[in-house]
């Protein structure tokens, strides 16, 4: 399955709820002093979007997202949604694949599509002076994809090569083992196969496009050198031809299996990859913002985190180690990863569990909470230092269901987090006994912990 990056920022604070009513912001946030002017607009044809007009740089950036992704594709066609989105830029209208790509180069623009477990995305970047021509290319790609035989055969060949080589890819092996251990019967634990790839044909691509691209779940963000009138015309040209449609069906919520303390997948290599994960919370949960602070303290703060300090700096057992919350529409987990020499893996896991247990039993300190808040609020400006980054951040908030002004309140929500909030989240989510650990490699002293494959 292809990685889906359109909502990467949602794994941090993209959908954080309001802070607890008893907490008060420590100080005015930088975003509040220099607000991002997000406006909700509606085109003459009735297409809604969020708009940030900024003429500083003559570039326009658009992001769009539709609910419904790989998790709801037919099991016998696993991978078809990703192939469909890849094919959207392999020729459209009168332009075959080569002519389409040559035209993009002539215009110095980019248009692309991506598929994730829970949705599909579209992106457009163009110089202001080429706006009308770029909009036409985007319109063609979205509404008139050709799905020609030659590029389809090429993409399927590439996928089949990937299937042959993935069995020696430690990241693929570890993530599959973790998904199958945590929710073995859910589509999230499914992967492409030779049979499912070979079954993908033009009719299947057309069916997936018709099922997912409509106006029912469409969310659009536009940032850059464009005013409301021009943005409205852009929305109608690109998205106006889409049918209204309806929201697609949804898979069931994941049902987590009991944790497996240790799973080992043998793979000849000098290092081992370690993944560990436990059930988390969805981003509308009241504890979502405190979780960001708690996670920074334990494993999300780079060299300042407890795990990095104890496992890497103090003992030199890993090359690096970190954790972060991960949210999909129908599951939420907290995942961590580390890489270590085979001879150090056993001790690295023991120290990781011990440090988690110490935090779980004793809680964080006020100094740790203050340091985490300072970093999380101070570093946010770096996520907004270009229109491309603003588009990604604002669009992630839109897709996560936040209001248009959330970007300007985000830092104050973090500043409102208290030590009590953080320790409540630690007791809720960082019990080391709830975590499943997966090791891929040839770890010494862990032989015999092999779990059966699903």
Class of domain 9-239: alpha beta
H-helix or E-strand spanning residue 98: helix 97-106
Q: What is the pLDDT of residues 33-60, one digit of tens each?
A: 468 999 999 999 999 999 999 999 999 9
* Per-residue pLDDT at 18: 28
Model confidence, pTM: 0.89
The beta-strand segments (E) located in 39-130 are: 39-42, 48-53, 59-67, 110-115, 119-127
Q: Show the tokens assigned to 337.
A: 């990863």
* Per-residue pLDDT at 448: 45
* Per-residue pLDDT at 302: 84
* Per-residue pLDDT at 34: 65
Give yes or no on whether 9-239 and 263-441 have one common fold: yes
Q: What is the pLDDT of residues 400-421, one digit of tens each?
A: 999 999 999 999 999 999 999 9
* Per-residue pLDDT at 2: 30
Domain 263-441: CATH architecture, name and number where available: 2-Layer Sandwich (3.30)
- 30 pLDDT higher than 70: no
* Per-residue pLDDT at 9: 34
For residues 66 and 51, give the distance between their C-alpha atoms in angstroms, rounded to a whole number.
Answer: 18
Contact 229, 49 (CB under 8 A): no
Q: Show the tokens assigned to 394.
A: 């604002």
Assign residue 315 a region (left: φ > 0; alpha: ψ between -120 and 50; beta: otherwise).
alpha
* Per-residue pLDDT at 301: 82
What distances in angstroms separate CA 268 from CA 170, 177, 386, one per listed residue? 10, 17, 43
- 61 pLDDT higher than 80: yes
Q: What is the DSSP letter of 22?
A: T
- 15 pLDDT higher than 50: no
Mean residue pLDDT across the chain = 91
* Per-residue pLDDT at 296: 98
First to last CA, the chain: 18
* Per-residue pLDDT at 446: 86
* Per-residue pLDDT at 1: 31
Packed helices 202-212 and 80-87: angle between N→C axes, nearest 10 degrees: 90
Domain spans, the chain? 9-239, 263-441
Contact 263, 454 (CB under 8 A): no
């Amino acid at each position: 399955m292809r990685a889906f990056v359109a909502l990467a920022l949602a794994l941090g604070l993209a959908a954080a709820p309001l802070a607890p009513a008893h907490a008060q912001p420590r100080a005015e946030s930088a975003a509040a002093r220099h607000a991002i002017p997000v406006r909700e607009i509606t085109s003459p044809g009735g297409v809604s979007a969020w708009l940030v007009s900024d003429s500083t740089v003559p570039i326009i950036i658009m992001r769009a997202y539709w609910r419904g992704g790989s998790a709801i594709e037919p099991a016998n066609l696993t991978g078809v949604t990703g192939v469909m989105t890849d094919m959207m830029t392999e020729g459209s209208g009168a332009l075959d694949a080569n002519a389409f790509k040559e035209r993009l180069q002539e215009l110095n623009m980019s248009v692309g599509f991506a598929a994730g477990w829970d949705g599909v995305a579209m992106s457009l970047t163009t110089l202001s002076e080429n706006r009308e021509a770029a909009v036409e290319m985007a319109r063609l790609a979205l509404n008139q994809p050709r799905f020609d035989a030659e590029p389809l055969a090429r993409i399927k060949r590439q996928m089949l090569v990937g299937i042959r080589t993935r069995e020696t890819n430690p990241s693929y092996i570890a993530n599959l083992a973790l998904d199958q251990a945590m929710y073995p019967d859910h589509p999230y634990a499914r992967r492409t196969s030779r049979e499912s790839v070979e079954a993908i044909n033009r009719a299947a691509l057309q069916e997936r496009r018709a099922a997912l691209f409509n106006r029912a779940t469409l969310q659009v963000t536009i940032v850059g050198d464009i005013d409301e009138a021009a943005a409205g015309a852009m929305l109608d040209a690109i998205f106006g031809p889409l049918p209204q449609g309806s929201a697609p069906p949804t898979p069931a919520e994941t049902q987590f299996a009991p944790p497996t303390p240790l799973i080992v997948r043998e793979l000849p290599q000098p290092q081992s990859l370690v993944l560990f994960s436990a059930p988390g919370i969805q981003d509308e949960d009241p504890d979502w913002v405190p979780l960001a602070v708690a996670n920074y303290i334990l494993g999300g703060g780079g060299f300042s985190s407890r795990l990095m300090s104890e496992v890497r700096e103090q003992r030199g057992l890993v090359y690096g180690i970190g954790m972060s919350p991960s949210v999909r529409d129908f599951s939420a987990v907290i995942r961590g990863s580390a890489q270590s020499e085979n001879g150090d893996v056993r001790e690295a896991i023991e120290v990781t569990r011990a440090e988690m247990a110490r935090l779980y039993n004793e809680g964080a300190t006020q100094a740790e909470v203050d340091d985490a808040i300072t970093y999380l609020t101070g570093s946010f400006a770096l996520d907004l230092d270009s229109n491309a980054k603003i588009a990604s951040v604002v669009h992630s908030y839109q897709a996560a269901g936040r209001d248009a002004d959330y970007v300007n309140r985000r830092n104050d929500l973090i500043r409102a987090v208290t030590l009590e909030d953080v320790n409540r989240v630690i007791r809720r989510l960082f019990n080391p006994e709830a975590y499943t650990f997966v090791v891929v490699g040839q770890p010494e002293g862990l032989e015999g912990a092999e779990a059966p494959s699903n």
